[in-house]
Structure 1
């Protein structure tokens, strides 16, 4: 029997996990729990590939994965059945059979993250692990001006982690929007791909500028320095969400509402897939 390829859209709260990727040591990861649950439903060992790995304490509202199976199962089995075997903070929210050429990582033409900041003099209790809290008042207009510098194709060496294993620091930022609703400030970033800690380093620079501790022009200075030591602090992981991976239309990857779902609706700019 020939194997079929199945794509899933997965949502998870990363607080209790050591990141997405399964590790050789026995530590909790999202991939480990998802593969275990899928293997029970498929009745054979399942290995998954994701669109973009996430670090410890980072969340996802629409992580895309694929796996191969020779098991005959319904969409409900890959959603409701798998969810019954998952921890409460991981859930499959969509599933679909895919063409054999589909690859969750290599077929993706862009990825999108949102970084959620909660700006308030007092720390939150209810969302303490789902947002990045700052007691400082942030000037969103300055942050928006600074973020424009990052749009386009650049060498982002100043924004990559020291241990980043990417072959090149060059990435293309397709859109960088910043929204505010009440005490939430959201960095909404879409790119062809990202470097390790890239978004959290963007957040660190923009929060510093928003707090008035550096001028708007500092963003360009950091970018052009191509030196991580010039880039200031790395933002905490708690506010970071993987919210979308985009694919050519012919693959018909399931789409879900853009998250994280506690946020108010923001007017969406018109986007085009990169060529």
Structure 2
């Protein structure tokens, strides 16, 4: 109880401080959606940026020197995602690790005989349950300034974090506000996921990048990228699914593209 009170007081203090003019200029020029936001949304986004920058542990890896604008670039994209979700500051994410490019990661893989072995792969990012988010710096910067390009590494990895708010494993079903919303989400999501898998397997043009056919968790993350980065395409391709995403995120990114 005391910790919650102390954290809220700290956040209120951060919100009361003037937003850095250097940060504002950076966001205006590097976050393509920013000019289309209402003044109230811009103010809320500024608060989110300031809180995320202050509260997270930012670590540069493999020689990366993390500066304030790197933090702002990431926090701005995260804050945009959560504009409609109340005060969501990803309390479960303590650290953000930033690499200079793709990096090698080791993960356990079960063989056909049930033996668990370690496998290495190149990655651009990762999201761990109650753990860090890992990001490649060039992809962080590219995603923020690329309109109508349905890829955004920051959005992708933090979508996984939203997905894991109701359980250790990401499954494509984040916490919903009501049973009705959840039922509608599951219906539209599962229908679209099955079509995504079929299209990718048959060589037909899929709804989103075929990485989204890996599993339901990746489908949700890739859909979220498309929702925020290329909403016109997604809305035209699957209106019902777009409306489910709009209901969950409580935002209409189509108005950013007018």
* TM score, norm. by length of structure 1: 0.30
Please state which structure has a larger fraction of its residues in strand: 1
* TM score, norm. by length of structure 2: 0.32
Which structure ranks higher in relative contact order (CA pairs < 8 Å, sequence separation ≥ 6)? Answer: 1
Please state which structure has a larger fraction of its residues in helix: 2
